Amino acid sequence: MTDQTAAQAVWTAIAKANQPKLTDLFAADAERVHKLSLSLNLPGGEVLFDWSKTHLDTGLLDQFAALAKAMDFHGKRNALFDGELINNTEGRPADHAAQRGVGTAESTELASVFHARMRALIDAMDEGVFGDIHHILHIGIGGSALGPDMVMNALGRDEIRYDVAVVSNIDGAALDDVFQSFDPAHTMIAVASKTFTTIETMTNARSALAWLADNGVEDPHGRVIALTAAPDKAVAWGVDETRILPFSESVGGRYSLWSSIGFPFAAALGWEAFEDFLRGAAAMDRHFIEADLTRNAPVLAAFADLLYAQQRGCQTRAVFAYDERLSLVPSYLQQLEMESNGKSVLADGSPLGRASAPVTWGGVGTDAQHAVFQLLHQGTHLIPVEFLASRTPGHDLDPDHHRILLTNCFAQGAALMQGRDNEDGARRYAGDRPSATILIDDVNPATLGALIAFYEQRTFANAMLLGINPFDQFGVEL
């Protein structure tokens, strides 16, 4: 049971807590980096989470641990993985972890059945059942598009088995761009829609069918695969039921990359890559379940998120991928974090009474240094910054490229923290501006899966500590 009185007492204590400068926190504790960093050896390599340049300290960690106790965090985490109706307003469990094998026997078994169907359909496509296919035109929006787009951008830069284009906007220009480069005679269309009713997706799908027909494809509907939790609607729309890849209603749209929505990824990069992706995520889930709260990457990150939103009044948080392969992660996180936790009521519908999710924004480094870092260093907003980087470059060019990229990434975190004094105000940097760094060995299916699962569980941890339901999205239905 949650204890709102105890929770309120903790929030009051956190609000009143001292706010030492980052440089003072480091000076006071030689062990600070170790206490606030975590190195996880995951299936695809090491992932280092360095939260030492945030204002968390042992006192605050104790406070947040007390908040977790008051909010029955352990009970809520068990409820998630036990398939309980944690999405209480829609009366559903949240089964995304079960798609990677972490959940109840029933939900993980159902997920493996759906995955086997997806694998069989990909095998059929590989064997030429649908003709000589070279391109996959993936049509979806929100969680039915952002995930496939982000993964293909991260992992689909070397040899891939099919070209993949992801189209989401109803602006015909998006679809028309693909028509200029894809050959209809060799194109498969994946209509990705959990509800199979979303007007942007259904309009784009209708135009894609017409494009096939207008270009001589005899059985356009035969080239359509439906990725959906509403198979009956896909059949009614005209998709052959052997080409429908279902997934469970209890998988949220913004949490669905592990399900049939991952089809273009599995088809283009191979089934082994998709399984590595799931494996990496499962390893992060197990870490999230097993690690003590203050040695738990998603929980530590959530503690810092809440510190800045609640104690410092930060209304945004910025994520910068210092790696072109991760350039779509910030926009992916926007839906995951803001559609999950952009709420103003508790799970029971009563007023939340405090700040909820900050605005997630960001971009790519080092480009962002030539656009928004002015504000981050000298603006009037305090904006927690997050850096994503890989030890290993995603190219074979001169090593100077990666050395300069990483040097800038680490230097930015140091500069934000240390600042620089100057008699001339225009050249003075206040410093004491927080940042966190996630450094992965390399961008591969397993580390990417672990990274995305880290963000999912972090989003969940934020929600449970606030007492909100991260799994509904009535705001978009208006």
Any residues with CB less than 8 A from the CB of 285 and at least 6 apart, and which?
81, 97, 100, 102, 453, 457
From 331, 382, 355, 353, select the one nearest 462 (Cα to Cα). 355
- Alpha-carbon distances of 129 from 219, 330, 356, rounded to whole Å: 13, 37, 49
Q: What is the edge-to-edge ordering of all strands in the sheet holding 316-321?
A: 37-42, 45-50, 435-440, 385-390, 316-321, 359-364
Closest CB 464 distance from ligand F6P, rounded Å: 20
Closest CB 256 distance from ligand F6P, rounded Å: 7
- Alpha-carbon distances of 95 from 8, 113, 388, 413, 473, rounded to whole Å: 30, 14, 27, 36, 16
Indicate which single residue of 44, 101, 148, 253 sits in contact with ligand F6P (rule: CB under 6 A).
253
For residues 94 and 307, which CB has a smaller minimum distance to ligand F6P in the complex? 94
For residues 197 and 242, which CB has a smaller minimum distance to ligand F6P in the complex? 197
Q: Tell me the C-alpha distance between 237 and 167, whole Å.
A: 19
For residues 195 and 315, which CB has a smaller minimum distance to ligand F6P in the complex? 195
Is 340 a binder of ligand F6P (CB under 6 A)? Answer: no
Indicate which single residue of 54, 187, 193, 310 sits in contact with ligand F6P (rule: CB under 6 A).
193
Is 129 a binder of ligand F6P (CB under 6 A)? Answer: no
Closest CB 144 distance from ligand F6P, rounded Å: 4
Indicate which single residue of 195, 207, 408, 418 sits in contact with ligand F6P (rule: CB under 6 A).
195
For residues 161 and 194, which CB has a smaller minimum distance to ligand F6P in the complex? 194
| Whether the Cβ atoms of residue 193 and residue 144 lie closer than 8 Å to each other | yes
Q: Tell me the C-alpha distance between 267 and 261, whole Å.
A: 11
For residues 32 and 254, which CB has a smaller minimum distance to ligand F6P in the complex? 254
For residues 214 and 474, which CB has a smaller minimum distance to ligand F6P in the complex? 474
Indicate which single residue of 93, 103, 142, 246 sits in contact with ligand F6P (rule: CB under 6 A).
142
Indicate which single residue of 254, 287, 317, 458 sits in contact with ligand F6P (rule: CB under 6 A).
254
Is 194 a binder of ligand F6P (CB under 6 A)? Answer: yes
For residues 244 and 299, which CB has a smaller minimum distance to ligand F6P in the complex? 244
Unique residue bearing structure tokens 């003072």? 24
Indicate which single residue of 143, 264, 298, 413 sits in contact with ligand F6P (rule: CB under 6 A).
143
Is 203 a binder of ligand F6P (CB under 6 A)? Answer: no
C-alpha torsion sign, points 268, 271, 272, 275? positive
| Phi, psi angle pair for 429, to nearest 5° | -115, 120
Closest CB 453 distance from ligand F6P, rounded Å: 18
Give the number of residues in contact with ligand F6P, rule: CB under 6 A.
14
Q: Tell me the C-alpha distance between 341 and 335, whole Å.
A: 10
Indicate which single residue of 120, 236, 371, 476 sits in contact with ligand F6P (rule: CB under 6 A).
476
Q: How many CA atoms lie within 13 A of 316 on its CB side?
A: 14
- Alpha-carbon distances of 409 from 56, 161, 204, 321, 349, rounded to whole Å: 21, 33, 39, 9, 42
Residues in 393-412 at the binding interface with ligand F6P, rule: CB under 6 A: none
The helix-helix angle for 297-306 and 445-466 (nearest 10°) equals 50
Indicate which single residue of 67, 141, 318, 333 sits in contact with ligand F6P (rule: CB under 6 A).
141
Q: Tell me the C-alpha distance between 195 and 231, whole Å.
A: 9
Q: Tell me the C-alpha distance between 311 and 19, whole Å.
A: 9
Considering only the stretches 47-55, 140-148, 310-318, 427-435, report the one whose residues sit in contact with ligand F6P under the rule CB under 6 A: 140-148
For residues 255 and 303, which CB has a smaller minimum distance to ligand F6P in the complex? 255
From 165, 227, 147, 240, select the one nearest 193 (Cα to Cα). 227
Is 96 a binder of ligand F6P (CB under 6 A)? Answer: no
Q: Which residues bind ligand F6P (CB under 6 A)?
A: 141-144, 193-195, 198, 201, 253-254, 339, 473, 476
